[in-house]
């Protein structure tokens, strides 16, 4: 099993979510985050005053999947999260030793489905 963590722009979430659903991903954790990277923030306007917004709003998606699904999910993320601009995000793949469903006490890949 692998944990896939990806950071994306909020504007692409609907398309990414639909693509993940087509790949059979129905369990997903989404967290609103803010970060700074190569895009180095932007200038905002509030009540006529300009100010620098150093952190850009992003979404962090987390899912645990079977090993054989990883490449298809990565491809879906690359296809639907990319705008071609700086700040599109990142994908991280981490190994998962065990998964346990608390309610049924099931273990392994059956617990992530």
Give residue 77's pLDDT. 98
Backbone angles phi, psi at 53, to 5 degrees: -100, 105
Residue 18, CA atoms < 13 Å, CB-side half-sphere: 6
Split at pLDDT 50, 70, 90, the class of 37 is confident
Give residue 28's pLDDT. 95
| Topology classification of domain 2-111 | Alpha-Beta Plaits (3.30.70)
Give residue 42's pLDDT. 64
pTM as predicted: 0.84
Of the candidates 33, 40, 54, 43, the residue with the CA atom closest to the CA atom of residue 87? 40
Give residue 54's pLDDT. 74
């Amino acid at each position: 099993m692998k944990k896939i963590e990806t950071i994306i722009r909020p504007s692409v979430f609907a398309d990414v979510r639909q693509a993940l659903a087509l790949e059979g991903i129905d369990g997903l954790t989404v967290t609103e985050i803010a970060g700074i990277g190569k895009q180095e923030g932007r200038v905002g306007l509030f009540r006529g005053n300009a100010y620098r917004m150093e952190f850009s709003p992003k979404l962090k998606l987390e899912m645990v999947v079977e090993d054989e699904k990883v490449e298809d999910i990565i491809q879906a993320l690359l296809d639907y999260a990319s705008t071609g601009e700086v700040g599109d995000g990142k994908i991280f793949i981490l190994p998962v030793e065990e998964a346990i469903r608390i309610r049924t006490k099931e273990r392994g890949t059956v617990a992530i489905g």
